Amino acid sequence: MYQIGEIYQGCQHTVTIHHEKIAQAHKFAPVNIPSRYIEQAVDQVSSLPGIGKKTALRLVLALLKRKPEDIERFAAALTDMHAHTKLCKVCNNLSDEEVCSICASPYRDESLVCVVADIRDVMAIESTSQFQGKYHVLGGIISPIDGISPSDLAIESLISRVAAGNIKEIILALSATMEGETTCFYLYRKLSAFDVKISSIARGVAVGGELEYTDEVTLGRSILLRTPYETSLKR
Ligand SMILES: [Zn+2]
């Protein structure tokens, strides 16, 4: 004889499997496309990160409704972007010129350099309007699991910039992950040979965050790395 609990659990298990099967069928359901031209466009669009076949089909069908001159502009924008965008030879940021607009700006403090992993981090920090120094984009972080070693990153060029002697402070603005911390420590070891102040971005309680829901490592760091109250008044 089954107990009621066992029967219930059995049913629940069956329902879960059923839902998983539906989800999988949905995920791998072939999209029936009646045109090979549409199909090849869908293949191209769905090769982009985060875009599945169904989303790609929706985008492609939306493009199909546009006028031919709109499509020409669309294609030309992609071709021009690919042909003319390069990496700044000083900081590795994206640029239309040899040197990016931030490095070329006389209004930015060149004695202050913020080290980030990715070009998107530059955009994120720029959107805060709180930083008036310059950047150095590493192009990733040290991650042995992903096969990324220091030699794969723009570390030598950072050292060359510091060795040139105009930089007074390096701000390490990397993710608060194991890989981010490893990269920070590696850079700290490399840069401590020079007469340069090395700081890292503050780790702490998020704005609008409740203390009781903050994880203990973050909260612990927030206490250790507390800042004078006057500093928060200036923001
Ligand atoms: Zn630059």
DSSP 145-195: GGTB-GGGSTHHHHHHHHHTS---EEEE---SSHHHHHHHHHHHHHHTTSS
**Which residue carries 């490399």 as its tokens?**
190
- How much distance in Å is there from the Cα of 181 to the middle of ligand 1? 24
- How much distance in Å is there from the Cα of 138 to the middle of ligand 1? 12
Is the CB of residue 41 less than 8 Å from the CB of residue 63? yes
- How much distance in Å is there from the Cα of 135 to the middle of ligand 1? 7
* Lowest-confidence pick of 75-79, 94-98, 153-157, 223-227: 223-227
> Per residue in 177-231, pLDDT tens?
999 999 999 999 999 999 999 999 988 888 888 888 888 888 888 888 888 888 7
d(CA 116, CA 174): 6
**Residue 164: CB atoms within 10 Å:** 8
- How much distance in Å is there from the Cα of 140 to the middle of ligand 1? 16
- How much distance in Å is there from the Cα of 117 to the middle of ligand 1? 14
- How much distance in Å is there from the Cα of 16 to the middle of ligand 1? 52
User: Tokens representing 43?
Assistant: 């293949």
Is the CB of residue 169 less than 8 Å from the CB of residue 112? yes
- How much distance in Å is there from the Cα of 134 to the middle of ligand 1? 8
Task: State yes or no: pLDDT of 125 exceeds 50.
Answer: yes
136 Rama sector, left if φ>0, alpha if ψ -120 to 50, beta otherwise: beta
CATH class of segment(s) 109-201:
alpha beta
Is the CB of residue 201 less than 8 Å from the CB of residue 171? yes
Domain spanning 4-26+34-84: CATH 3.40.50.1950: no
- How much distance in Å is there from the Cα of 119 to the middle of ligand 1? 11
- How much distance in Å is there from the Cα of 169 to the middle of ligand 1? 17
Alpha helices in the chain (DSSP H): 4-28, 36-45, 53-64, 68-84, 101-104, 119-126, 155-163, 178-191, 216-224, 229-233
Cα dihedral 168/176/148/144 (nearest 10): 130
- How much distance in Å is there from the Cα of 153 to the middle of ligand 1? 16
User: Tokens representing 44?
Assistant: 């191209």
For the chain, domain boundaries: 4-26+34-84, 109-201
pLDDT band at 132 (very low <50, low <70, confident <90, very high): very high
